Amino acid sequence: MVMPFNMMNVDISCLGNHETDMDLPKAKELIAKTNCPWIMTNLLQKSLGSKPMLGLEPFHVMEHKNFKYGFLGFAEEEWIDTLIPEIDANDIEYLDYNETL
């Protein structure tokens, strides 16, 4: 799926429903093969020192036609419950985007 993803010329992406379906190391490996930045703003990985999941950036800024655009990537707290059993949900810290940002 990396090749079709890269062919779409995506400018920025956020973790979603299926990137972690095969576990976090595989997700990190596949994300590294894509040609755009990936972000996650409100899900932190405790084992990484409470940094965004997979060590992604919490935000990204792009410039287009002399305007700067900031991007944040949010997940709902319920998303943690959809992780495969091999991923320790207790390692994931959720930040409520309505209260913290």
Interval 14-62: pLDDT, tens: 998 899 999 999 999 999 999 999 999 999 999 999 999 999 999 999 9
* Rounded mean pLDDT, 3-24: 94
Q: Where are the beta strands (DSSP E) in the chain?
A: 13-14, 38-39, 43-45, 51-52, 59-64, 67-72, 92-94
Residue 100 has pLDDT above 80, yes or no: no
Better-predicted residue by pLDDT, 100 or 34? 34
**SS3 (DSSP) at 91:** helix
Q: What is the rounded CA–CA span in Å between residue 27 and residue 100?
A: 27
Domain count, the chain: 1
The parent domain of residue 63 ranges over 2-100
Q: What is the rounded CA–CA span in Å between residue 97 and residue 26?
A: 27
* Rounded mean pLDDT, 77-83: 93
